[in-house]
């Protein structure tokens, strides 16, 4: 019940296209859903996050769409650029008293010219 399932495992998108990564969760106690971006040899860095009281959050080219009834959320990267090539992780946490994040398995995104 603590799992976060992420798809696809890898994604190739042309420059200027839209990249879409999906995640699903089971635990309805989760109330904070961040996305992290990780480059090779680096630690994950927070990209954007959402709480379930809103259905969408946009920051620049990055948008999270959240469907509470379906227990799904997705990351959309508009106008994808080669610099966006990285591994993306969705994550979730709730008010469990231990603050730990449960991560998805990651999506390796490659933006081709």
Q: Closest separation between CB of residue 19 and other proteins, Å? A: 18
Nearer Cβ to other proteins (20/32):
32
Give the integer Cα–Cα distance in Å for 43 and 90: 14
User: Which residues of this chain interact with other proteins, rule CB under 8 A?
Assistant: 6, 32, 34, 36, 41-46, 49, 51, 89, 91, 93, 97-106
Q: What is the DSSP string of 10-67?
A: EEEEETTS-EEEEEEE--TTEEEEEEEEE-TTS--EEEEEE-TT-SEEEETTEEEEEE
Nearer Cβ to other proteins (83/97):
97
Q: Closest separation between CB of residue 35 and other proteins, Å? A: 12
Q: Closest separation between CB of residue 90 and other proteins, Å? A: 9
């Amino acid at each position: 019940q603590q799992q976060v399932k992420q798809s696809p495992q890898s994604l190739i998108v042309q420059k200027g296209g839209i990249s879409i990564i999906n995640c699903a969760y089971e635990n309805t106690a989760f109330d904070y859903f961040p996305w992290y971006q990780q480059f090779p040899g680096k630690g994950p860095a927070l990209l954007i996050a959402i709480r379930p009281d809103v259905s969408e959050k946009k920051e620049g080219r990055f948008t999270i769409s959240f469907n509470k009834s379906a227990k799904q959320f997705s990351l959309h990267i508009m106008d994808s650029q080669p610099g966006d090539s990285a591994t993306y992780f969705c994550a979730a946490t709730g008010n469990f008293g231990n603050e730990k994040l449960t991560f998805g398995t990651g999506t390796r995104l490659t933006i081709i010219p």
